[in-house]
Structure 1
Amino acid sequence: MSRHQAPYQVRHALSDDLPGARSLILDTLYREFGYGYVPRWHADVIDLAGAYLDHPRHALVVAVLDGEVVGTTAVNSAGPAHPPHPRHLAERYPSGPTAQLLRVYVRAEHRRHGLARRMVQLARAFVAEEGGYDRIYLHTNTDVPGAEPFWRALAEEVFDARPSGEHGPWVSTVHFEIPLPPRAAPASSAPPRPCTAGWPRRAPRSA
């Protein structure tokens, strides 16, 4: 029997979640990716509140069990930068109309519970509701166990950068696009919606 008795919560992050989210992200960068914190790639990790909670077009989604953050997923409005990514990707996914999905991490002992998929679903819903995005882009390190099949089940490959070694020999990068979900109909024409008081579009920051 699993030792995890309470249900997992998947929701937008609160201020109180940020230390746990930062710890999870840094643990992933150091222990699983092997290259650790790189300022030019991971500046958002130092100021998660400024990068996500305080930015109206960005979001940080967390999976929580018994008060512990065990999963993260983020959305920002920056497309892939050139360099290190190919110029054609930077042109195809410009900053502003592109929602980039990143920091999709789940602690190893909490995997196989569908948490990554649930977090991505909530992130996609945020992108659709925000209204200013026209596509969802991401790239992944396929050396991480399970990463490549997970994204191939949800997204369409747009470029396999492994032959080019764009991030160096220690990162195997593949770029993907996820279909943008349809935006909800305006309230005037949409049928009545069930009460969702417990699941706001974005959770308020705690005091």
Structure 2
Amino acid sequence: MACVSSLMTTTETKGAADYVLRQAEPGDVAQARSVMLDTVYRDFGHGYLPRWHGDIIDLESSYLAPEDNALFVAVRDGRVVGTAGVRGQTPVSPPHPHEVTRHFEEGRTASLYRVYVRPEHRRRGLAGGLVDACLDFIAGRERYTGVYLHTDARTPGAVEFWSRRGAVLFDERVAVNDMRDGSDEPFETVHFRLRIPR
């Protein structure tokens, strides 16, 4: 698969000339999974939860095989150091609040998942470049009319990053999500809508 050349220019201006941002290949799966699992344990504080993180275990079926899904990676010296995924998945209620789901068309929503960068590689524009690659991929699919994502507010810089790119639809830190059946679970979820660059 080809490099995403427009991303290379973007990352070079932020000191990341040694990184390649591209669509993932089957050989990237184990390293991408490692980035994702390390993030849910280190940044989220609760680790892998099969109910919410099953796609991490089966990246091939979740991102590589479906035509309208994709996984993008940031690679340095042959090692995957960042990830971002696109899945054709409309948020549903429950577990998401109605204030979120009413903004999206069933079957026509792309959801962003697993936008993670290893801590020692952050602040170089990699997350932004990976998200741009995802949005370009989404823009090339007529099926999609909306982009949804949610983030855990405990991830350093996540809410600020996504707030610059989209609109907050619901913040579970300040509003109660009555749709969650596991209220004892440690969530600080903020839900966003992003624009498709068309």
TM-score (norm 2): 0.84
- The secondary structure found in structure 2 opposite 1:137 is strand
- Whichever residue aligns with residue 89 of structure 2, its letter is A
- The secondary structure found in structure 1 opposite 2:174 is coil
Please give the per-residue CA displacement for 1:76-118, whole angstroms capped at 9, x wherever unaligned.
0112232221134223324420100110000000001100000
Which residue pairs with 1:57 in the alignment?
A: 68
Which residue pairs with 1:159 in the alignment?
A: 170
Q: Which of 157-166 and 59-68 deviates more?
A: 157-166
TM-score (norm 1): 0.81
Distance 1:83 1:48 in 2: 24
**Residue 102 of structure 2 corresponds to residue 86 of structure 1:** no
Please, which runs of 5 or more residues in structure 1 have no aligned partner?
183-207
- Whichever residue aligns with residue 175 of structure 1, its letter is H
Which residue pairs with 1:176 in the alignment?
A: 192
**Residue 25 of structure 2 corresponds to residue 14 of structure 1:** yes
State which of 47, 50, 54 in structure 1 corresponds to 2:58: 47
Q: CA deviation at 1:58?
A: 0.4
Q: CA deviation at 1:159?
A: 1.6
Distance 1:100 1:127 in 2: 10
**Residue 84 of structure 2 corresponds to residue 77 of structure 1:** no
- Whichever residue aligns with residue 43 of structure 2, its letter is E
State which of 11, 23, 39 in structure 2 corresponds to 1:28: 39
Which residue pairs with 1:195 in the alignment?
A: none
Distance 1:141 1:62 in 2: 21
Please give the per-residue CA displacement for 1:25-65, whole angstroms capped at 9, x wherever unaligned.
01111111111111121111111011111100101010000
CA contact under 8 A between 1:73 and 1:105: conserved in structure 2?
Answer: yes
CA contact under 8 A between 1:6 and 1:65: conserved in structure 2?
Answer: no
- Whichever residue aligns with residue 180 of structure 1, its letter is I
Distance 2:48 2:93 in 1: 20
- Whichever residue aligns with residue 116 of structure 2, its letter is Y
- The secondary structure found in structure 1 opposite 2:140 is helix
- The secondary structure found in structure 1 opposite 2:135 is helix
Number of residues of Structure 1 aligned to a counterpart in Structure 2: 179
Q: How does 1:189-204 map to 2 (within 5 A)?
A: none
CA contact under 8 A between 1:77 and 1:95: conserved in structure 2?
Answer: no
* Rg comparison, structure with higher value: 1
Which residue pairs with 1:133 in the alignment?
A: 144
Between the two proteins, what is the percent identity of the paired residues?
Answer: 45
Distance 1:127 1:178, change over 3 A: same
CA contact under 8 A between 2:40 and 2:46: conserved in structure 1?
Answer: yes
Q: Which of 79-88 and 61-70 deviates more?
A: 79-88
CA RMSD for the aligned pairs? 1.8
